[in-house]
Amino acid sequence: MVTEAGRFVTAAVKRRREVAPIVACFYAVRALPYALDGAHDGAGLLLQGRGDCLAKSELMRLAARVLQIPGRYACWLYLLPDVVPEVAELPSRLDVHRAVQLRVGGSWVLADATHHPGLRGTGLRVCEWDGRHDTQPAYPPAGPVLVEDVAEDAVGQAREQVRLWTASCPGDVLARWRSAYVAWLRQHE
């Protein structure tokens, strides 16, 4: 995986020589379509070219590692966006989002490359990054921002909240929402 990440970093930096290498990597990760039906990890994202926040944050962290920049995962509860009407049928809209924080200039800085430019103007936030300051979060937090390695219990509790409501949700309702959301995202790739 390190070799694939190294190739990804090299290509990203060649495409955007005018910015810092980590910023070039941010924009290369952001350019890959956000997709629930795509990859769920960095290796899969490199193969499929589309993926969810888990995949995008992992690839961003791998790119930072290649550039010898410390990284860590941050996550938080958020409300699923109401971009498809099927979301109203769900018993809850809580989900867990994951992004990456990078150690830049002596501070941990959020670099959330989740949403690709095709989602601009849809109600989903497409982030910009200067390499020095936090991006806005792709999804507004509905609770505290948690660092995975530091707040493992709280992260587990957040994920359990989501697991419980999805387990209690009728399968057809969840499937209808997921299918509609996946189709909506595909329209914006």
Count up the domains in the chain and report the number: 1
**Residues of the domain holding 100:** 2-187
Specify the DSSP class assigned to residue 3. Answer: H
Please write the tens of the pLDDT for every residue from 32-63.
Answer: 999 999 999 999 999 999 999 999 999 999 99
Residues 6+ apart with CB under 8 A from 156: none
Confidence of residue 1 (pLDDT cuts 50, 70, 90): low
Is pLDDT above 80 for 96? Answer: yes
Is pLDDT above 60 for 13? Answer: yes
Length of the chain: 189
Query: What is the secondary structure of 68-131 as a DSSP string?
Result: T--EEEEEEEEEPP-SSGGGGGSS--EEEEEEEEEEETTEEEEE---S-GGGTTTTS------S
Cα–Cα distance between 28 and 9 in angstroms, integer? 9
pLDDT at 80: 97
Return mean pLDDT, the chain: 95
Please write the tens of the pLDDT for every residue from 59-78.
Answer: 999 999 999 999 999 999 99
CATH code of the domain in which 157 resides: 3.10.620
